[in-house]
Amino acid sequence: MSLRIVYGRAGSGKTHFILNEIKSRIEENSGKMLVFLVPEQFSFQAEKNLISATKAGGILKTEVLSFQRMAYRVFNETGGITYPHIHPAGKSMIIYQILNKINDKFKVFSGTCEREGFVNTISTLITELKRYSVTPQQLKDAIDALTEDNPLKEKLTEINLVYCEFESLITKRYRDSDDDLTLAAKKIATSSLYDGAQIWIDSFISFTPQEYKMIGELLKKADRVTISLCTDTLENSTASGADVFAPVKNVYKKLIKLAQENSISIENPILFEGSVRFRESEELAHLEKTLYAFPYKALNKKTEDISLFAAMNIFSEIEATASEIIRLCRDHNMRFRDITVVTRNLPAYEKLVEIIFSDYEIPYFIDRKVDINNHPLVRLLQSMMDIFIDNWSYEAVFRYLKTGLTGIDQSSIDKLENYVLACGIRGSYWTREKPWDMSSELIPKDRLLDENQRELDEINDIRSIIITPLLDFRNKTKGRRTAVELCTGIYDFLCDLGIPVTIEKSIDNFRELGELNLANEYSQVWNIVMEVLDQTVEVMGDETFGLERFSKILKIGLAEYKIGTIPAALDQVLVGSVERSRSHEIKAMFLLGVNDGVFPSTALIEGVLSDQDRSVLN
């Protein structure tokens, strides 16, 4: 049992060394378990890199895992894999319930607990507390240690009130996925899965307390644990405020302390000097080495691999990028897949990228999570409930009709809309039994009476088609109903409208038109809506609601979902944000929007606890 640290600057060859070492162990066929542990978002790329390094068609003798996936492996052996996990949507619904239940006890949060987004903020804070192994009791001890005049005391008391209530509700029936690593760390001790294993941990900048616990248990079980760190030295040679590698050096100290506490032998660290990734580019190697250095050194030569472009606006910036991409592919024999476009503020760029890259006939894939609230099916559900909440307001009715999922053609909707606006129809007038008989003309003309009557008959037929499924739903859900009754009513309503068939037809149409990303989105959204309804029944099955409160709960649940897409082809330019993009297998990268305050970002979203609050707690 030993700990080995492999360190060096970015691109110095740490990952290359680990991949080759895993390859050697596979060839030795020692029979020991080989584990390559990487961040969740990098696991697919790590598998590709390992397969490429071993020059084999697969990797049966090695597991490429994230910490979360390793936890599932442990539960599979020691028990707990089938224990019901609660989805973030269900978690937010429970927090909404708690806030409604105890809002009369709030002072600090009394004015904010009803605001949109507050549930998600509290959910994020509870996740953070769990990842850093802060229990409700520890939080209470921290509160007791504060003086009475400290404003943080009241805020933490209210946070702990929600946290205690949440833990009390969750432990009765479910397990929060944020607790998985803590539980897995305890169960590794009784597991034989990693006895005598060789484990390599790569591409991490830091670890959470939960992950440190996992590493501590693995150190006791494994034959050797190798961890790579991106730093030029393991000693604090400069003040931490000026040292870009200071956080990594703190990680090293914690790992050494962890090994010493568990009586694990510590091997001599392996240092990688020089640059493997940038060995063919003096400019990039110089930039990597001196970007944060002080005093800095200038490279006194004309650059070829690094160029700067100042644009008047975002449009001209993207257009210049598109022209350069075409030039690289035409004159330098690059493929589109060899090129990546990265920006800090992707929402500001993605629409123009779609337009300009399409004009230049550049195949592209935008790596993003699509907000589900903008999908027609979700808008249909929300506007349907708004019709009854807002008493058939014009806005709610036509937001519902214009989703394109009601089975009514656009020309009929336009006729109805013109009539409703001309006659000022709203409220109970929509549902009255007597047909509409008002003329949309200011002064009806006698000679056009027959034509007007035909139009009225047509409009009344359209109205009947619209209100029939809506009134059926309302009759099933009127008054205070349980979550089971409301969710069943929504499902029956969607089936009465023929939504499953409409979604399937839309998917087929998108595929025929080559819109594979849209086809992928539509194929996911029905299952997501069904999952939210299932979560609502699971969490709040027997609780009764009015429609307005139920609508809020459903919106909170749906807000937790985003639709992920995958590339529809291999040869595409990857467009992504700095946070999500992680690939070294490229030949050219365009970094857009490198403006002061944007890259690097200075905007801080602190949430409920500010940095000052956290420093007090530390």
Q: CA nearest 89: which of 527, 385, 400?
A: 527
Give burial (CB, 10 Å; 0-12/13-18/19+) of 172. exposed
Structure tokens at 205: 């900048």
For residue 96, is it left (φ>0), alpha (ψ between -120 and 50) or beta?
alpha
Structure tokens at 499: 């939504």
In which band, very low, low, confident or very high, does the pLDDT at 223 lie, cut at 50, 70 and 90? Answer: very high
Given a cut of 50, whether residue 588 has pLDDT beyond it is yes
Contact 156, 146 (CB under 8 A): yes
271-312 confidence digits (pLDDT tens):
998 778 888 888 888 888 888 777 778 888 888 889 999 999
Average pLDDT score over residue span 601-607: 66
In which band, very low, low, confident or very high, does the pLDDT at 602 lie, cut at 50, 70 and 90? Answer: low
Average pLDDT score over residue span 460-489: 90
pLDDT score at 362: 95
Give the span between the Cα atoms of 539 and 91, in whole angstroms. 9
pLDDT score at 469: 93
In which band, very low, low, confident or very high, does the pLDDT at 562 lie, cut at 50, 70 and 90? Answer: confident
Average pLDDT score over residue span 406-423: 90
Average pLDDT score over residue span 400-427: 90
Average pLDDT score over residue span 396-415: 92
3-class state of residue 300 by DSSP: coil
Average pLDDT score over residue span 426-455: 74
Q: CA nearest 177: which of 210, 201, 207, 203?
A: 210
Strand partners, 271: 7
- Mean predicted lDDT score pLDDT of the chain: 87
pLDDT score at 440: 66
Which H or E run contains 369? strand 369-371
Average pLDDT score over residue span 10-19: 90
Neighbouring CB atoms inside 10 A of 328's CB total 18
Given a cut of 60, whether residue 442 has pLDDT beyond it is no
Select the highest-mean-pLDDT range: 25-29, 376-380, 432-436, 541-545.
376-380
Given a cut of 60, whether residue 239 has pLDDT beyond it is no
pLDDT score at 175: 80
pLDDT score at 313: 93
In which band, very low, low, confident or very high, does the pLDDT at 178 lie, cut at 50, 70 and 90? Answer: confident
In which band, very low, low, confident or very high, does the pLDDT at 58 lie, cut at 50, 70 and 90? Answer: low
Length of the chain measured in residues: 618
In which band, very low, low, confident or very high, does the pLDDT at 610 lie, cut at 50, 70 and 90? Answer: confident
110-169 confidence digits (pLDDT tens):
878 878 788 888 998 999 889 888 889 999 998 888 888 888 888 899 999 999 999 888
pLDDT score at 51: 85
Average pLDDT score over residue span 551-575: 86
Average pLDDT score over residue span 525-539: 89
pLDDT score at 349: 93
Given a cut of 90, whether residue 492 has pLDDT beyond it is yes
Domains of the chain in start order, with CATH, are 2-81+181-272 (3.40.50.300), 88-173 (no CATH), 374-564 (1.10.486)
Give the span between the Cα atoms of 516 and 524, in whole angstroms. 13
Given a cut of 90, whether residue 251 has pLDDT beyond it is yes
Given a cut of 70, whether residue 220 has pLDDT beyond it is yes
Q: What is the DSSP letter of 473?
A: H
In which band, very low, low, confident or very high, does the pLDDT at 242 lie, cut at 50, 70 and 90? Answer: low
Of 215-224, 330-339, 448-457, which gets the smallest average pLDDT?
Answer: 448-457
Given a cut of 70, whether residue 605 has pLDDT beyond it is no
3-class state of residue 243 by DSSP: coil
In which band, very low, low, confident or very high, does the pLDDT at 444 lie, cut at 50, 70 and 90? Answer: low
In which band, very low, low, confident or very high, does the pLDDT at 240 lie, cut at 50, 70 and 90? Answer: very low
| Rg of the chain taking only CA atoms, in angstroms | 30
